[in-house]
Amino acid sequence: MTVTPHLFIPGPTNVPDAVRMAMNVPMEDMRSPEFPKFTLPVFEDLKKVFKMKDGRVFIFPSSGTGAWESAIENTLAVGDKVLMSRFGQFSLLWVDMAERMGLKVELCDEEWGTGVPLEKYADILAKDKNHEIKAVFATHNETATGVSSDIAGVRKALDAAKHPALLFVDGVSSVGSLDMRMGEWGVDCCVSGSQKGFMLPTGLGILAVSQKALDANKTQNGRMNRCFFSWEDMIKTNDLGYFPYTPATQLIRGLRASLDIIFAEGLDNVIARHHRLATGVRHAVDAWGLKLCAKEPKWHSDTVSAILVPEGFDSNAVVKTAYYRYNTSLGVGLNKVAGKVFRIGHLGALDEFMIGGVLFAVEMALKDSGINVKLGSGTGAAAEYFSKTATKSATAP
Ligand code: PLP
């Protein structure tokens, strides 16, 4: 029997059948007079997922990296100073991009397993009396280490210093799964992609921007060159329900279906489900006697757990064993944590049955790799927790 490998990497995530079927439609005319009736509500509904109070959302036919680039080049100028922190592969890549695009990065280099250093940010912002820092960057969920950061805390640091810098947040592995309150937290650019919480294939870079970011785009002092990712071109056509170039119509059809799924469950219920499933995974990790890469509970991510293997073991062996023996894809360790962690992605279309499945495979792969875990320990601990916290399904009598 051939079964598609069970996918538990932190994106791309499983695509629900309803989303897959919504994309299985004939090609359509993206300039038809009917097209805006489809696209304009999608733009509006996306704003609800980001909990925006103003601004707009752009949909680029790219991955999340394109949305990063778009945020930078549409608001900042070459030579602008920005405040960033690096504590995992994705925050690292964002710093790399900012430097390559000509920004002057004031960098907080943090231990991997920690997150955005709020006190350092507050200190640096308070000292920046001349407001040379034009934007503050924060990775909401560092997918490489399974670390979530406190974005409301970054807003507090900005407000305490009465600092006008823009706030840029990487929400690629958080939006649609963790709470993102752009409006309340004063986030100006929030970057996401289609292949994680939105439960779609890769191919859409989704960028939500505040009115303040749109104003910065107009008043940009010494603009950066831009073309494919230009907001001006997008705005001109998006306002009418069209795009400046050929949109990925099928992916946007899928996005419509995924938004419908999120709203049917209720966004806050989706977020609570992610928390519950992640807590189940963490119970299993404890029962195995293993540790998360995230150094403290405040950093625990509800979308991905990066699990350290004991000293002297290679996490790649666990990932390979899970893949070849148990047909299960786990995330590998990246860069500084390569060989040290394996990752379980627990975001998107998932329930406790699926979490039980991946824990079952991980438990066996750990044991097969020579790591001393008792079969049934982690799966049992998760089952205890899930059975205690189960709620009646909507269809139960
Ligand atoms: N930021 C984070 C936190 C990510 O997890 C990823 C990808 O996994 C990216 C950025 C890059 O996004 P993409 O691969 O969609 O370009």
Helix H or strand E segment including 193: strand 189-193
pLDDT value at 393 more than 80: no
Nearest residue to 166 via CA among 147, 190, 193: 190
Q: What is the pLDDT of residues 78-101, one digit of tens each?
A: 999 999 999 999 999 999 999 999
Q: Is the pLDDT of residue 62 over 70?
A: yes
What is the side-by-side order of every strand in the sheet holding 291-292? 291-292, 304-308, 341-345
Structure confidence at residue 2 (pLDDT): 72
How high is the pLDDT of residue 241?
Answer: 98
- Two tokens, residue 117: 């250093």
For residue 40, how far is the Cα from the chain centroid? 24
* Binding site feature residues for substrate: 343
Supply the pLDDT for residue 29: 98
Ligand 1 centre distance from Cα of residue 190 (Å): 13
Residue ranges of the chain that CATH labels 3.40.640.10: 17-263
Residue-wise pLDDT tens digits, 106-164: 999 999 999 999 999 999 999 999 999 999 999 999 999 999 999 999 999 999 999 99
pLDDT at 227: 96
Residue whose entry in the numeric block shows the structure tokens 């924060």: 138
DSSP helix/strand/coil, 156: helix
Q: Are 375 and 361 in contact (CB under 8 A)?
A: no
Q: What's residue 1's pLDDT?
A: 67
- Look at residue 223 in the predicted model and tell me its pLDDT: 80
Q: Class of 6-11+266-389 per CATH?
A: alpha beta
- Counting ligand 1 atoms within 8 A of each CB, the residue from 168, 172, 343 with the most, and so the one to mutate, is 172
Q: What percent of the chain shows pLDDT beyond 70? A: 99
Asked if CATH classification 3.40.640.10 holds for the domain at 17-263, the reply, yes or no, is yes
- Mean of the pLDDT values across residues 308-316? 98
* Pocket of ligand 1, beta carbon within 6 A: 11, 63-65, 90, 139, 141, 143, 170, 172-173, 193
Residues paired with 373 in a beta bridge:
none
CATH 3.90.1150.10 segments of the chain: 6-11+266-389
- Encode pLDDT of 251-290 as tens digits: 999 999 999 999 999 999 999 999 999 999 999 999 999 9
pLDDT (mean) for 55-69? 98
Determine the pLDDT at residue 34: 98
11-44 burial string, b = 16+ CB within 10 Å, else e? bbbbbbeebeebbeeeeeebeeeebeebbeebbe
Check whether 173 has a pLDDT greater than 90: yes
At 269 the pLDDT is 97
Please say whether the beta carbons of 220 and 79 come within 8 A.
Answer: no
In the reported structure, the alpha carbon of residue 109 is separated from the centroid of ligand 1 by a whole-number distance in angstroms of 19
Partners of residue 370 on adjacent β-strands: none
d(CA 198, ligand 1 centre) in Å: 13
Which pLDDT belongs to residue 327?
97
Q: 211-239: per-residue pLDDT in tens? A: 999 999 998 877 899 999 999 999 999 99
Give 335-372 pLDDT, tens digit per residue.
999 999 999 999 999 999 999 999 999 999 999 999 99
**Tokens read off for 153:** 């805390």
- Report the nearest atom of ligand 1 relative to the CA of 193: 15
Which pair of tokens denotes residue 387? 């059975």
Q: What interface predicted TM-score (ipTM) does this complex get?
A: 0.99
